[in-house]
């Protein structure tokens, strides 16, 4: 039997989160936020603004990093090591090297409609082990979004029972811990409402 799930995903960030794409240091587990310029016409005037959005690929990549923590697979989104047998990670998220399979998950990108978003900024340094001091050119800056709640849509289809149970465990880890370094206070508000339904058999 195959299972499916279509649900609204309510995400709450109570601390700084969402590394901007142009930041100096972005980890695999971080949710990356892009910005696009928009032109607004209001009261006879044109103005240029920036709109922030979270690509669906960033959400899926962050969830995949959570799934990686509870899987024995060595595959990552950047390095598929599947050989004779497709691993559980690649069966759900897509991949599998030469035996590539498409992802069974779909996220909707999130467009942030909040006005007057004030970005937080932090700095990081890279140390030179030989001199035990800051490496030359080793100062980096990153930008983040302030605390807020956002909503997206998650769709999963054609899941086996094993894949269904594994995905739910990954979602719980992702939503309960907020595993990325830049969004540790991340929560899925409606985690207990998720429901997987059997898919109807087709001829």
What DSSP string describes 108-129?
A: --EE---SSPPPEEEEEEEEET
pTM (2 d.p.): 0.76
| Paired tokens of 81 | 């090591």
User: What pLDDT shows up at residue 87?
Assistant: 83
Tens of pLDDT along 109-134? 988 866 667 777 776 666 777 777 76
Q: Is residue 146 part of a domain?
A: yes
Q: What is the mean pLDDT of residues 145-174?
A: 89
Give how many domains the chain has, as a whole number. 1
Q: Is residue 203 part of a domain?
A: no
Q: Is residue 188 part of a domain?
A: yes
| Paired tokens of 116 | 């007057």
For the chain, percent of residues with pLDDT exceeding 90:
15
In this structure, the number of other CB atoms found within 10 A of the CB of residue 159 comes to 23
Q: When comparing pLDDT for 103 and 203, which is higher?
A: 103
| Residue 117 belongs to domain spanning | 3-198
Q: What is the mean pLDDT of residues 184-191?
A: 72
């Amino acid at each position: 039997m195959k299972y499916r799930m279509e649900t609204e995903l309510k995400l709450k960030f109570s601390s700084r989160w969402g590394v901007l794409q142009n930041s100096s240091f972005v980890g695999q587990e971080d949710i990356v936020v892009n910005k696009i310029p928009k032109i607004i016409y209001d009261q006879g005037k044109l103005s240029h603004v920036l709109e922030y959005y979270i690509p669906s690929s960033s959400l899926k990549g962050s969830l995949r990093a959570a799934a990686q923590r509870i899987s024995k697979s060595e595959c990552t989104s950047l390095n598929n090591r599947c050989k004779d047998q497709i691993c559980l990670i690649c069966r759900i998220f897509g991949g599998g090297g030469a035996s590539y399979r498409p992802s069974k998950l779909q996220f909707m990108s999130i467009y942030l409609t909040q006005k007057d978003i004030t970005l937080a900024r932090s700095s990081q340094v890279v140390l030179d082990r030989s001199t035990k001091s800051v490496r030359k050119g080793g100062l980096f800056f990153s930008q983040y979004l302030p605390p807020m709640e956002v909503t997206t849509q998650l769709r999963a289809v054609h899941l086996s029972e094993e894949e269904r149970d594994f995905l739910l465990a990954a979602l719980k880890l992702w939503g309960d811990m907020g595993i990325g370094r830049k969004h540790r206070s991340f929560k899925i508000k409606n985690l207990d409402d998720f429901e997987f339904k059997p898919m109807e058999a087709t001829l």
